[in-house]
C-alpha cells in the first residue's frame, strides 16, 4: 500500500523507541482519581450530557455508579447503549458533546466533569464473570451485515441479542473497521480494537467472514436472496481526489492508507518516514496523520487548509494536539500544483492564497511553495462505487455520494438497510455509527417480527 514511498528512508530510531511515542494520549484514571472526578458530577435531573450523547448513554447514572463503587453497573449502563463504549471513550469528541454540555463549564471551576475518562475507567475495569448480555430466544431469522466496522458490528450485536443469527462480511483481514485501521495509534493503543471485537462476539450468534468484498467476491443480489434482511455498514472506502496533474506521482498518497499501515505495523522502524511532509486537510484524519508522522521522526510537518481555523472540522482540542506536537498549520491556502523532481517524484506543492468574498471562497492569485518529500491528502472520504456496482445495488437511491435511508435506516430496496458513514445525513463519528447500527438492528428485528406475526 505504501509502494509510492518505497524510496523514502526509514526512521533512525528503533521500534522500541518509536513505540514510546504511541502510548495513550490521555492516561487512564486510577480508582482514587475516578472517585474524586465522579464526586464532581451534580447528577442533574435533566442531564444535558445525556441529552446530547449520540448513543443515548445515561451519563449521570453511570457516573453515580462509579461514585458508589459499582463499576460493573456503570459499565453495563454504558454498554447496553453503546457496545463500543470503550473505544468511544477514547475517540469520541466529547469536548464538543457531553463535556461541552456539562454544567460544570459554567461555574467557578470552569471545566467539565471528565466524562470520557470516567467512561473509559468503567469499561476498562469491569469484571463480569460472564458476558453481560444474553441472547433472547432464537427467532429463526438470519441477517447479513456487510462491513465489520462500528456500524456493522453494533448492528450485529443488537440483532444477536434479540435472538437473530447474523453473518458479517468484511473485506479486510481483521474486523473492527476504522477502529482497527483508521484511528491514530496513540488513541487506540496496542490491540484494544481487537479485544473490543472479541468482547462483542462473546454474545454468540454472530459469524464473521473475512476477505469478503462487496462488488468483488460478494454481491448484494445474492445476499438479498439468501438472507432475511441485509444491513450495509460500508463506511466510505475511497479517498477524494485533489484533481491536480501529478496526483499519482510517487510521494503523494491518501493519509488513510499510511495510517492503516502504521496501525498494523509490527516494526515502526520499517515504515518510510519523509523528512519534510505536507498534509492537506482540516479534519481529524489530517490531524492524526500530521501528528503521527511527526512522532515517527519527520523533521518538518505542515498541515495546509483552504479556509480558516474556525472552519476546520477537527475540534479545537485536536488542533491543540497538533500544535503541541510541533505541526505547522497554514490556513487560507489551496493546492494548485504538485511539484516534481527530475525523477518524477514529489518535491513539494504550490499553493494559492484564498479569502472569502461574501459566502464564497476565492483565490487571490498570490501563490507560494512548500518543499516536501511526501504529500498526504486528507480531504475526505467518499463511497467506493465498485462496492455498489452490481445490478441490484445500482438501484439504491443516493444522496450525493451516500446511500439514502429513511428514519428507520431503510433504503429504497425492501429488506436492505444501511447506516454509519455511508449514509446521509452523517457526521462521520464513531459514536454515531454505533448508534445507527443499534437503531437499524431494532428496526430490522421489528420488521421481521411483524411479518412473522402477519404470516
Domain boundaries, the chain: 31-125, 142-237+383-454, 239-381
Please name the CATH architecture into which domain 239-381 falls. Answer: 3-Layer(bba) Sandwich (3.50)
pLDDT tens digits along 242-293: 999 989 999 999 999 999 999 999 999 999 999 999 999 999 999 999 999 9
The superfamily in CATH containing domain 142-237+383-454 is FAD/NAD(P)-binding domain (3.50.50.60)
Q: How far is CA 252 from CA 255, 272, 348, in A?
A: 9, 13, 10
Average pLDDT of the residues in 420-435:
87
Q: 59 pLDDT band (50/70/90 cuts)?
A: very high
Q: 453 pLDDT band (50/70/90 cuts)?
A: low
Would you state the pLDDT for residue 454? 62
Would you state the pLDDT for residue 451? 78
- CATH T-level assignment (fold) for domain 31-125: Fumarate Reductase Iron-sulfur Protein; Chain B, domain 2 (1.10.1060)
**Over the chain, what is the mean pLDDT?**
95
Average pLDDT of the residues in 123-127:
97
Would you state the pLDDT for residue 455? 53
Would you state the pLDDT for residue 415? 97
Same fold, 142-237+383-454 and 239-381: yes
Would you state the pLDDT for residue 426? 63
**For the whole model, what pTM was predicted?**
0.95
pLDDT tens digits along 346-368: 999 999 999 999 999 999 999 99
Average pLDDT of the residues in 26-49:
95
Phi, psi at 312, each rounded to 5°: -65, 140
Q: 106 pLDDT band (50/70/90 cuts)?
A: confident
Would you state the pLDDT for residue 391? 87
Would you state the pLDDT for residue 241? 93
**Under 8 Å between Cβ of 316 and 95:** yes
Average pLDDT of the residues in 76-96:
96
Q: 428 pLDDT band (50/70/90 cuts)?
A: confident
Q: 94 pLDDT band (50/70/90 cuts)?
A: very high
Amino acid at each position: 500500500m505504501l509502494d509510492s514511498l518505497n524510496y523514502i528512508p526509514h526512521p533512525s530510531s528503533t521500534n522500541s523507541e518509536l513505540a514510546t511515542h504511541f502510548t495513550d494520549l490521555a492516561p487512564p484514571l486510577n480508582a482514587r482519581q475516578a472517585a474524586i472526578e465522579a464526586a464532581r458530577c451534580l447528577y442533574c435531573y435533566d442531564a444535558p450530557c445525556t441529552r446530547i450523547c449520540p448513543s443515548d448513554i445515561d451519563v449521570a447514572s453511570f457516573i453515580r455508579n462509579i461514585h458508589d463503587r459499582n463499576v460493573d453497573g456503570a459499565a453495563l449502563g454504558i454498554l447496553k447503549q453503546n457496545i463500543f463504549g470503550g473505544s468511544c471513550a477514547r475517540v469520541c469528541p466529547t469536548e464538543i458533546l457531553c463535556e461541552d454540555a456539562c454544567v460544570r463549564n459554567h461555574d467557578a471551576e470552569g471545566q467539565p466533569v471528565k466524562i470520557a475518562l470516567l467512561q473509559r475507567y468503567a469499561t476498562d475495569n469491569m469484571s463480569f464473570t460472564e458476558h453481560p448480555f444474553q441472547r433472547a430466544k432464537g427467532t429463526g431469522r438470519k441477517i447479513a451485515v456487510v462491513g465489520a466496522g462500528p456500524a456493522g458490528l453494533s448492528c450485529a450485536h443488537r440483532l444477536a441479542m434479540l435472538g437473530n443469527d447474523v453473518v458479517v462480511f468484511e473485506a479486510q483481514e481483521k474486523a473492527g473497521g476504522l477502529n482497527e485501521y483508521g484511528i491514530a495509534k496513540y488513541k487506540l493503543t496496542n490491540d484494544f480494537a481487537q479485544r473490543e471485537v472479541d468482547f462483542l462476539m462473546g454474545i454468540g450468534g454472530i459469524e464473521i467472514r473475512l476477505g469478503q468484498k462487496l462488488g468483488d467476491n460478494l454481491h448484494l443480489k445474492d445476499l438479498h436472496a439468501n438472507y432475511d434482511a441485509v444491513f450495509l455498514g460500508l463506511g466510505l472506502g475511497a479517498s477524494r481526489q485533489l484533481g491536480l496533474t501529478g496526483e499519482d506521482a510517487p510521494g503523494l498518497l491518501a493519509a488513510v492508507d499510511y495510517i492503516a499501515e502504521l496501525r498494523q505495523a509490527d516494526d515502526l522502524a520499517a515504515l518510510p518516514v519523509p523528512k519534510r511532509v505536507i498534509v492537506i486537510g482540516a479534519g481529524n484524519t489530517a490531524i492524526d496523520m500530521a501528528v503521527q508522522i511527526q512522532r515517527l521522526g519527520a523533521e518538518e510537518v505542515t498541515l495546509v487548509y483552504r479556509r480558516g481555523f474556525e472552519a476546520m472540522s477537527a475540534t479545537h482540542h485536536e488542533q491543540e494536539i497538533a500544535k503541541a506536537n510541533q505541526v505547522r498549520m497554514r490556513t487560507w491556502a489551496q493546492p494548485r500544483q504538485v511539484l516534481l523532481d527530475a525523477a518524477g517524484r514529489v518535491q513539494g506543492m504550490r499553493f494559492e492564497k484564498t479569502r472569502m468574498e461574501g459566502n464564497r471562497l476565492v483565490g487571490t492569485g498570490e501563490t507560494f511553495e512548500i518543499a516536501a518529500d511526501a504529500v498526504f491528502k486528507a480531504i475526505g472520504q467518499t463511497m467506493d462505487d465498485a462496492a455498489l456496482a452490481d445490478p441490484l445495488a445500482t438501484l439504491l437511491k443516493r444522496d450525493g455520494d451516500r446511500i439514502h435511508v429513511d428514519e428507520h435506516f431503510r433504503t429504497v430496496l425492501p429488506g436492505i438497510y444501511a447506516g454509519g458513514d455511508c449514509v446521509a445525513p452523517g457526521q462521520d463519528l464513531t459514536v454515531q455509527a454505533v448508534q445507527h447500527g443499534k437503531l437499524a438492528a431494532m428496526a430490522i428485528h421489528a420488521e421481521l417480527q411483524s411479518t412473522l406475526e402477519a404470516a
